[in-house]
Each structure stands twice: as structure tokens, then as C-alpha cells.
């Protein structure tokens, strides 16, 4: 009885992990598609090829990792899984670079405004409320 409940909970956590991992993988591939394929508006053959490549990579990585379970000791298993791991590394680097580059204009503008105004643009970190207020226990406070 207890073993079956533990197995069900374990299965549930495994399914949640797989769902989150696939969601992250799909979200990163969607972000890369938006930033690298859709927004630059590539000419006709290239936009389709790049879109299909990202779709195949998004579907292929989990498929290869799932199908190669237990076969990584063989040369054939290593040859099949090598492109998936390589793409995972390249995808992470592309995501990081594209994410940072897309925020650089805002950071640059912020710095230029600071130099132009000759002051730092930061919110005040000073408390401006009432001073020396008496302590009231949590239960007597309004909610």
C-alpha cells in the first residue's frame, strides 16, 4: 500500500519535471525563433529553413535523449546523442547572448542619461515615514 503511494508520488514528480523541462526547452526555442527568424525577416527560403531547424531541434533533443537511454555506452549511441548535447550547449549560449543583446540598448540609454544629467538615477533608499512609532503585536494590527 505504502509502496504504491510512493511510486505514484514519484511518478507525479517525474511527470512534473518532464513537463517543466519540455516547457523551458520549447520556450527557449520559441524565443530564439522570434528573435532570430521572425524579427529579422529573412528572405523566403531562409526563414522557412531556420524555422524548421528550430522546430526539429526542439522536438529532436528530447526525442534523442529519451531514445538513447541505456545506449550511451556504445559508439552508435554516442554518435546519435552527440548532436543533441552540442545543440543544448549552443542553444544555451544563443539564448544568453540574444537575451543580453536585446537589453543592451536600454542599459546604454540609462548610462547615457546618467552622464548627461551628471547624477546617478537611483531610487531613494531613505525611509521617509513616521519615526519612533510604538510597537504593536501582529495580532492587534489590522489585516
Give the pLDDT of residue 143. Answer: 58
Low-confidence ranges of the chain (pLDDT < 50): none
Give the pLDDT of residue 102. Answer: 84
**pTM: predicted TM-score of the whole model, two decimal places:** 0.64
Give the pLDDT of residue 23. Answer: 92
Give the pLDDT of residue 2. Answer: 63
If we measure between CA atoms, which residue out of 62, 63, 120, 58 comes closest to residue 95? 58
Give the pLDDT of residue 116. Answer: 81
- Residue 112 and residue 3: Cα distance in Å, rounded? 63
- Residue 98 and residue 31: Cα distance in Å, rounded? 9
Give the pLDDT of residue 75. Answer: 83
Give the pLDDT of residue 114. Answer: 80
Give the pLDDT of residue 67. Answer: 81
Give the pLDDT of residue 1. Answer: 60
Amino acid at each position: 500500500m505504502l509502496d504504491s503511494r510512493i511510486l505514484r508520488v514519484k511518478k507525479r514528480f517525474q511527470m512534473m519535471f518532464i513537463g517543466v523541462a519540455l516547457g523551458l526547452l520549447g520556450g527557449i526555442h520559441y524565443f530564439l525563433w522570434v528573435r532570430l527568424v521572425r524579427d529579422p525577416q529573412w528572405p523566403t527560403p531562409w526563414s522557412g529553413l531556420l524555422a524548421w531547424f528550430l522546430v526539429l531541434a526542439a522536438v529532436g533533443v528530447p526525442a534523442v535523449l529519451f531514445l538513447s537511454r541505456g545506449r550511451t555506452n556504445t559508439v552508435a549511441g554516442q554518435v546519435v546523442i552527440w548532436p543533441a548535447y552540442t545543440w543544448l550547449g549552443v542553444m544555451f549560449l544563443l539564448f544568453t547572448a540574444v537575451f543580453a543583446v536585446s537589453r543592451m540598448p536600454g542599459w546604454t540609454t540609462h548610462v547615457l542619461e546618467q552622464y548627461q544629467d551628471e547624477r546617478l538615477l537611483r531610487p531613494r533608499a531613505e525611509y521617509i515615514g513616521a519615526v519612533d512609532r510604538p510597537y504593536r503585536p501582529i495580532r492587534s494590527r489590522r489585516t
